Amino acid sequence: MAANLVKAGHEVTVYNRTPGKVQALVERGARAAARVADACQGDAVITMLADDAAVEGVVFGETGGVIGSLGEGAIHISMSTISAALSQRLAAAHTNAGQRFAAAPVFGRPDAAAAAKLFIVAAGAPDALDACSPLFAAMGQKTIHISNEPPAANLVKLSGNFLIASVIEALGEAMALVGKAGVDGHRYLDLLTSTLFTAPVYKSYGALIAERKFEPAGFAAALGEKDIRLTLAAAETLRVPMPLASLLRDRFLTLLAHGGEALDWSAIGQLAAKDAGLGDPPSGSRG
Amino acid sequence: MAANLVKAGHEVTVYNRTPGKVQALVERGARAAARVADACQGDAVITMLADDAAVEGVVFGETGGVIGSLGEGAIHISMSTISAALSQRLAAAHTNAGQRFAAAPVFGRPDAAAAAKLFIVAAGAPDALDACSPLFAAMGQKTIHISNEPPAANLVKLSGNFLIASVIEALGEAMALVGKAGVDGHRYLDLLTSTLFTAPVYKSYGALIAERKFEPAGFAAALGEKDIRLTLAAAETLRVPMPLASLLRDRFLTLLAHGGEALDWSAIGQLAAKDAGLGDPPSGSRG
Amino acid sequence: MAANLVKAGHEVTVYNRTPGKVQALVERGARAAARVADACQGDAVITMLADDAAVEGVVFGETGGVIGSLGEGAIHISMSTISAALSQRLAAAHTNAGQRFAAAPVFGRPDAAAAAKLFIVAAGAPDALDACSPLFAAMGQKTIHISNEPPAANLVKLSGNFLIASVIEALGEAMALVGKAGVDGHRYLDLLTSTLFTAPVYKSYGALIAERKFEPAGFAAALGEKDIRLTLAAAETLRVPMPLASLLRDRFLTLLAHGGEALDWSAIGQLAAKDAGLGDPPSGSRG
Amino acid sequence: MAANLVKAGHEVTVYNRTPGKVQALVERGARAAARVADACQGDAVITMLADDAAVEGVVFGETGGVIGSLGEGAIHISMSTISAALSQRLAAAHTNAGQRFAAAPVFGRPDAAAAAKLFIVAAGAPDALDACSPLFAAMGQKTIHISNEPPAANLVKLSGNFLIASVIEALGEAMALVGKAGVDGHRYLDLLTSTLFTAPVYKSYGALIAERKFEPAGFAAALGEKDIRLTLAAAETLRVPMPLASLLRDRFLTLLAHGGEALDWSAIGQLAAKDAGLGDPPSGSRG
């Protein structure tokens, strides 16, 4: 994503806790920041981090955090998959500090990010989003302005991962059922994905489940569990019962309880088969 | 489907309990049968009926049923969505009677049937399926030979409806969540269906849920409930726990308990919103 | 139960498919019947059998079944745990045959039956139940006339087993939780059962779960699965969603899929611990 | 509880945010504290508050909190129903401050507290618990030393509320089932509670469900929701999937989404009947 910003002609200063990780970007024309504060001197700062704690650490850090370093009127664009609650806190904190805030999480795997093909779900004040649009254009194939309230974008992102995990669970149960009846998994998937379920998620996750190939992880189970947890937390605040999300939570906990943190999150799609007495329990050691 | 057989040049004799229903086919060149037995005099007989009971009635009827009327070596092609257990019984009964049997349920809505664009999931002995192939070619755009065991095709068909109902439930929960947070349902669906969830089922059922438009039914909730019930019955026989299917069963029962039999089955996608205190309970009276 | 009838002075004729099983009763004063019909010559006949199929076989058997053999006005007392639907069919069939019918399933383990300490849940026409009362008094410590409609008694019996299975599941989850936190299972149970949960079911099933002692079975998992299945079947007919019963169904299927038919039904109480990564999967081989 | 300490001869200093609430205790011989710190001058301080936030406020308050005010070696006895995570933090903070800590949540309703009939679940270092034993003896009928780790007591307390809520859910489903079949709810409860389910929880909650009497609340639904949430949070940390707890969570959210915060938590026992189309939706306005 940063490389695409550089390529589009923006001046980019990059910071990463692990200095070596920015080297490739520096070679393409970015500047390396020694501290978070050094990356906050422009018109906008983009955060793309693993979870709420990482974002909180970078933004609210006592000295040299984003809040303490960003100029008046400058924009913090949060592109991480974080909780709606933290997004709300960030929006309030930036407003208090005379800064602007936009939530802009993305859909797309690493290869889509590299190709500037991300889908960007943006929420924030219209003027802030307008100001961000050249940046979004450099990173994604499409930006959807979903709401004026930043947390809405984070909620939509979480809900998207909930929907994907639902597909994994549904496929897992269906494949356990027909598999136990003797139907070949690949033939079954060919049928599904050439007829009703042509979306890429069915093809890609169906294949992983059929082949029981959960390593290396495209998206780790520990992150999947986190996103379902954040979905349920938002649902609790909003008082929205989500029984399917609860089922997914239990699936992820079962997977993690058996050492599956580092497997691809589609490994929850094996649990129905396991409960049905098919094959082996999931484990970190299975290739 | 019968019209497409006629159009392809096959000699077709049609029977329906309600004589008026065959009139349009007769005008296109089919012959009308006065009794079931009269429709069993050719090389193959196709049954396409609402449920197990209807198929049992027509096939095992004491006098003049399909079993009693079909010639030696002739084929019964069962295209209804019936239980795997009945499919097994039919296969055995036809074998005992010196006849052949193929299960060939279809995926596709009425307009796909009219346009000969159905997907046909066929299972049975290879020689029987070979003999059926001109008929399948006249009715569908693609035939997948999924197994030599007829019940497998019925199970695959049921599992397909389970997967669709899973999509409805997942969308219902996600839309209740983001909707209660103030996100516009149509904008949300546009985002989903233009990015990760491009499959037609997301577009069509998402729109019905967003508009709360469950009448007229494309596929009635009572039939959806039946298919989930048959899925769970097969899962029980095979000992495959399917917690998502159990959730769907409870959703359908809730809908039926409130008078929703005749609504489109996507009306279960409103129940998450109802539990979240959004809008009104589903009922047969809402347009 | 039969022994208690003999002891109370009733003339008792007993039939069992396995002749040796009636020997002990004959020694106490009962007469042995060679055929079902021979046991249907008195004022009342009591059936106590394993499942619906066994009861159907004995009652509707073409020649010499209960329906065909029982005298006019005589009463069939069905004490088995059968489906509400079969109870309804039996009631109708006996009425058609000029006979009377009462459903009278029981609560209590084999030792309670031997000690005439059963609780009898009776339903049927008041005159029929009045006529049965000396028999009930000989077998149980208390008879509750729950309804005039026989299926209601069967439904109540099934609901009782659902409630017990719910206790097992709840204990299983709670013990997995505190157990994984290091709390001793027996100390935990002592606490629970000496305070809020003094009912015997908590003591007896809690101890089995804490000790993982599921053999020999007091009540086999296969029977437990059957009762939950019949509960859900009745719930479906009545359109009552029961998500906890659905969960129990999935637990039993998981247990049976791993070969646990013959274990005590409380073995479902181990599945939460198994999902949490504690201990071994359930199997028929563990003592 | 404080009154029972006074009665037993202990010197008691009481603090409550609402000064009027301590008046009755002062009349019995307690001293009123003007600030939290004034109540921390003795050998032990007991906290009994509504939730985690209240306990955190009182203990970690910048000036005059329990941590800042308690003498060296003095004991903080936390009797509130709080999270295992907070209990862990409290234990660490008191150790750091040279103080001692015991978790001692209780089972029992307000009348049991008044009668010194509480069951106290205590966890902490043996020396701390020994020192507390005269206090426990003054307040409860029995103290169970469940673990040396304070959070274990909080987890056990939470699990107890989970078990009670499970009883409510199971009764709710069973009563919806037999109720829709026409069985009288009170007669059904008499049967259950005089046979297998003699524990008081079945009698008391069953009666509330049968009478749909959820006001005034003995224990408010909002608190029930909190306890299930804390149970699930602990289960997530420990990686213990608890599908029944997840179901209860969804039930509570449904109730709260319909304005039921202030109803008795047994009001979740009406939701199965509501889903089955029996009666009205739960609301705060129904007596």
The answer, yes or no, to whether residue A281 has pLDDT greater than 80, is no
Q: What does the pLDDT read at residue A63?
A: 73
Token pair listed for C140: 């149980």
The answer, yes or no, to whether residue B205 has pLDDT greater than 90, is yes
| Domains defined for chain C, CATH in brackets | 2-148 (3.40.50.720), 155-275 (1.10.1040.10)
pLDDT digits (tens, 9 = 90+) for A104-152: 999 988 888 999 999 999 999 999 999 999 999 999 999 999 999 999 9
Q: State how far the Cα of A210 lies from the Cα of A270, in Å rounded to an integer.
A: 9
Mean pLDDT of A166-188: 97
Q: What angle do CA C149, C155, C157 make, to 5 degrees?
A: 115
C254–chain A nearest CA distance, Å? 5
Are D215 and C272 a contacting pair, CB within 8 Å? no
Task: Flag if B250 and D276 touch (Cβ within 8 Å).
Answer: no
- Chain C residues whose CB is inside 8 A of the B246 CB are 243, 246-247, 249-250
Interface probe, candidates C238, C252, C270, chain D, greatest D C-beta count within 10 A? C238
Are D55 and D88 a contacting pair, CB within 8 Å? no
Q: What does the pLDDT read at residue A280?
A: 54
Q: In residues, how long is chain C?
A: 287
B230–chain C nearest CA distance, Å? 12
Residue D225 CB neighbour total at 10 angstroms:
24
Q: What does the pLDDT read at residue D283?
A: 40
Helix (H) or strand (E) holding B272: helix B271-275
The answer, yes or no, to whether residue A90 has pLDDT greater than 90, is yes
- Chain C residues whose CB is inside 8 A of the B241 CB are 249-251, 253-254, 257
Are A285 and A212 a contacting pair, CB within 8 Å? no
Q: Return the active site residues of B.
A: 157
- State which residue of chain C sits closest to D140, comparing Cα positions: C195
Closest of C76, C74, C71, C80 to residue C90, by C-alpha: C76
Are B153 and B104 a contacting pair, CB within 8 Å? yes
pLDDT digits (tens, 9 = 90+) for C199-242: 889 999 999 999 999 999 999 999 999 999 999 999 999 999 99
Task: Flag if A258 and C277 touch (Cβ within 8 Å).
Answer: yes
Phi first, then psi: give them for residue B208, nearest 5 degrees: -60, -40
Higher pLDDT, B285 or B66: B66
Higher pLDDT, A4 or C196: A4
Mean pLDDT of B265-287: 76
Q: State how far the Cα of A159 lies from the Cα of A147, in Å rounded to an integer.
A: 15
Task: Flag if A188 and B156 touch (Cβ within 8 Å).
Answer: yes
| DSSP β-ladder status, A118-124 and A100-103 | antiparallel
D229–chain C nearest CA distance, Å? 14
Nearest to B241 among C236, C242, C250 (CB): C250
Instruction: Tell me which DSSP letter residue B48 carries.
Output: -
pLDDT tier at A200, thresholds 50, 70, 90: confident
Average pLDDT value over all residues in chain C: 93
Average pLDDT value over all residues in chain D: 93
Mean pLDDT of C253-260: 98
pLDDT digits (tens, 9 = 90+) for B250-273: 999 999 999 999 999 999 999 999
Closest of A255, A248, A275, A260 to residue A167, by C-alpha: A248
Q: What does the pLDDT read at residue C284?
A: 39
Q: What does the pLDDT read at residue B286?
A: 36
Which chain A residues in 247-266 lie under 8 Å from chain C, judged by CB atoms?
250, 253-254, 257-259
Task: Flag if C253 and A275 touch (Cβ within 8 Å).
Answer: yes
- Residue of A7, A157, A213, A274 marked catalytic: A157
Residues contacting residue C48 through CB under 8 Å, at least 6 positions apart: C1, C79, C80
Q: Return the active site residues of C.
A: 157
Q: Which chains touch C (3 or more CB pairs under 8 A)?
A: A, B, D
Q: What does the pLDDT read at residue C195?
A: 86
pLDDT tier at B19, thresholds 50, 70, 90: confident
Phi first, then psi: give them for residue B97, nearest 5 degrees: -90, 5
Closest of C140, C116, C135, C106 to residue C43, by C-alpha: C135
Predicted ipTM > 0.90: yes
The answer, yes or no, to whether residue A286 has pLDDT greater than 80, is no
Closest of D8, D32, D7 to residue D20, by C-alpha: D32
Closest of A108, A113, A116, A105 to residue A141, by C-alpha: A116
Strands (E) across C1-129 are located at: 13-14, 31-32, 44-47, 75-78, 100-103, 106-107, 118-124
Q: What angle do CA A254, C254, D232 make, to 5 degrees?
A: 35
Task: Flag if D198 and C197 touch (Cβ within 8 Å).
Answer: no
Residue A125 near chain D (CB below 8 Å): no
Interface probe, candidates A173, A249, A275, A280, chain C, greatest C C-beta count within 10 A? A275
Residue C235 near chain B (CB below 8 Å): yes
Nearest to B257 among D259, D276, D281 (CB): D276
Task: Flag if D281 and B276 touch (Cβ within 8 Å).
Answer: no
Chain-centre distance for alpha carbon B123: 16
Which chain A residues in 186-215 lie under 8 Å from chain B, judged by CB atoms?
187-188, 190-192, 194-202
Q: Which chains touch A (3 or more CB pairs under 8 A)?
A: B, C, D
Q: Which chains touch D (3 or more CB pairs under 8 A)?
A: A, B, C
C253–chain B nearest CA distance, Å? 5
Higher pLDDT, A198 or C214: C214
A208–chain D nearest CA distance, Å? 24
D222–chain A nearest CA distance, Å? 12
Q: What does the pLDDT read at residue A237?
A: 96
Average pLDDT value over all residues in chain B: 93
Q: State how far the Cα of B216 lies from the Cα of A280, in Å rounded to an integer.
A: 46
Task: Flag if D250 and B275 touch (Cβ within 8 Å).
Answer: yes
Chain-centre distance for alpha carbon C256: 19
Closest of B58, B43, B48 to residue B10, by C-alpha: B43
pLDDT digits (tens, 9 = 90+) for A222-273: 999 999 999 999 999 999 999 999 999 999 999 999 999 999 999 999 999 9
Burial of A287 (0-12, 13-18, 19+ CB in 10 A): exposed
Residues contacting residue B18 through CB under 8 Å, at least 6 positions apart: none
Q: What does the pLDDT read at residue D280?
A: 54
Task: Flag if C183 and D152 touch (Cβ within 8 Å).
Answer: yes
Q: State how far the Cα of D282 lies from the Cα of D273, in Å rounded to an integer.
A: 10
Q: What does the pLDDT read at residue C280?
A: 54
Average pLDDT value over all residues in chain A: 93
Nearest to A173 among B167, B188, B242 (CB): B242
pLDDT tier at B280, thresholds 50, 70, 90: low
Task: Flag if C201 and D200 touch (Cβ within 8 Å).
Answer: no
Mean pLDDT of A24-51: 93
- Chain D residues whose CB is inside 8 A of the A249 CB are 236, 241, 246
Q: State how far the Cα of A230 lies from the Cα of B106, in Å rounded to an integer.
A: 40
Q: What does the pLDDT read at residue B224?
A: 97
Nearest to D258 among B243, B253, B277 (CB): B277
Predicted structure pTM score: 0.94
Higher pLDDT, C41 or C111: C41
Mean pLDDT of B143-161: 96
As a dihedral over the C-alpha atoms of residue C193, residue C199, residue C200, residue C205, rounded to 10 degrees, the angle is -70
pLDDT tier at C287, thresholds 50, 70, 90: very low
Those residues of chain D that have pLDDT short of 50 are 281-287
Chain-centre distance for alpha carbon D271: 23
Q: What does the pLDDT read at residue C281?
A: 44
As a dihedral over the C-alpha atoms of residue D60, residue D66, residue D68, residue D70, rounded to 10 degrees, the angle is -160
- Output Rg (C-alpha) for chain B, integer angstroms: 21
Mean pLDDT of B7-33: 91
